[in-house]
Structure 1
Amino acid sequence: MNKLSSAPKKEQLKIYEQVVLRIQEMVQTGALGIGDKLPPERDLAQTFQVSRSSIREAIRSLQEKGIVESRRGNGTYIIHTGNIVEPLAEAVTEQRIYLLQIMEFRQAIEPAMAGLAARNATPEQLDAIAAIIEEKAPEPPAGNPWEKDIRFHCAIAKASGNPLFEQALYNASTALEEIRQAPLQSPERRAQSCSMHKEIFNAIRTGDAALATESMRTHLKQVHALLFTTV
């Protein structure tokens, strides 16, 4: 079995993949052994400070790899201590390609979307965007701080006046959440994102389509640089 040190860095992985590695660590250190029952989802979510959906996804991944077995009405048990490090290393490469595709999609449509919002946003839509900006995002594990970020971009899509933009972001909501996972989870990075959101909104509010377009483009360039220097 490969040593854990040969695994990809945790900040390179999706949240559920980090949970998978944490459980593997528990097996390697003897905290969990074959035949042991995993703690309930609620307890694992609190221990790892992630959502219960991430715990469920991690358990599904472990089941597919034959590491654990879920027994109806009786919980989830360790049934094998197999090597899961190599598959996760492959997942990192796949994730880089996926993130690049997401960023190409965003950089292609969101600057134009912001420019249209500067021209077409109604007072009610501007109020809705402003309300999102003023919200205080919950800190993990109380909630997902990036849910506010997703709603901000979707609100701009709605304000563009073109329902195709709104539909495109809605259809890509799962992908947009992926891009806001571990590589961006820090107070400093969230603060930087909030600052850029305010710049984008101010340009939209004043009807400056050129500035709104450029501000969104700059914001997405920063996100791109952040992702591909940490992933």
Structure 2
Amino acid sequence: GLTVTKTGKGTFVVANKVANDLTLGQYSARDLTEARPHIEVPAAGLAAQRRTHEELETLRHIVAAMTTETDPESWVALDSSFHAAIARASGNKVFASVVADIRGALAFQSETLNMVADRQHASDIEHQQILAAIEAGSAEAASEAMAEHLRAVGVALDSILNK
């Protein structure tokens, strides 16, 4: 399995690594990496066009909380909430349902990446860029910012899988 060593606490198995893939709850890292761009990139674009004032406030609150969050588990929960909130703000019930369905696996992936690849700060910056594009109402910029975020997550996953 994939392990992480924490000073003073020991070594922990954080995910099962099988044939260059990670099992993240119900789905594998490969499953998520292949599917997310087809769901979350268009969802971000639609969210920029369709989000309500309340949905925008929710996204602002989540991003602000993430940048100051020091507890890894709380940050992971906020990360999942951010992605789910964008899917809901897209106004597309299929996108919202799919992201809700994969939320547990997304949290597992996020937690693994933060423990092994220290992605939290980079993700915070990427989330701020996604939010700025959604605030500006730019579907193109929001889609591109989400695509860039998912590419960076994919690179981090590849670095773990190829260790």
* TM-score, normalised with respect to structure 1: 0.59
Aligned counterpart, 1:101:
31
2, 6, 10: which one aligns with 2:3: 10
Trace 1:58-207 onto structure 2 (pairs within 5 A). Answer: 91-93=16-18, 96=21, 98-135=28-65, 136-140=68-72, 143-185=73-115, 188-207=118-137
Change (3 A) 1:49 1:134: farther
SS of 1:10 mapped into structure 2:
strand
Higher RCO (CA < 8 A, seq sep 6+): 2
Aligned counterpart, 1:63:
none
Q: Give the total of aligned pairs.
A: 152
Instruction: Check the 8 A contact 1:137/1:148 in 2, yes or no.
Output: no
Structure 1: runs of 5 or more not aligned: 1-7, 12-17, 19-45, 59-87
Structure 2: runs of 5 or more not aligned: 23-27
Which of the two has greater strand per residue?
2
Change (3 A) 1:92 1:120: same
CA distance in 2, matches of 1:123, 1:215: 20
Aligned counterpart, 2:25:
none
Instruction: Check the 8 A contact 1:129/1:155 in 2, yes or no.
Output: yes
Percent identical residues? 28
* TM-score, normalised with respect to structure 2: 0.81
CA distance in 2, matches of 1:153, 1:9: 25
SS of 1:145 mapped into structure 2:
helix
TM-superposition CA deviations, 1:75-117 (whole Å, max 9, x none): xxxxxxxxxxxxx9xx412571610111111111110000000
Question: Which contiguous aligned blocks of 4+ residues in structure 1 show a shift greater than 6 angstroms?
Answer: none
Instruction: Check the 8 A contact 1:111/1:217 in 2, yes or no.
Output: yes
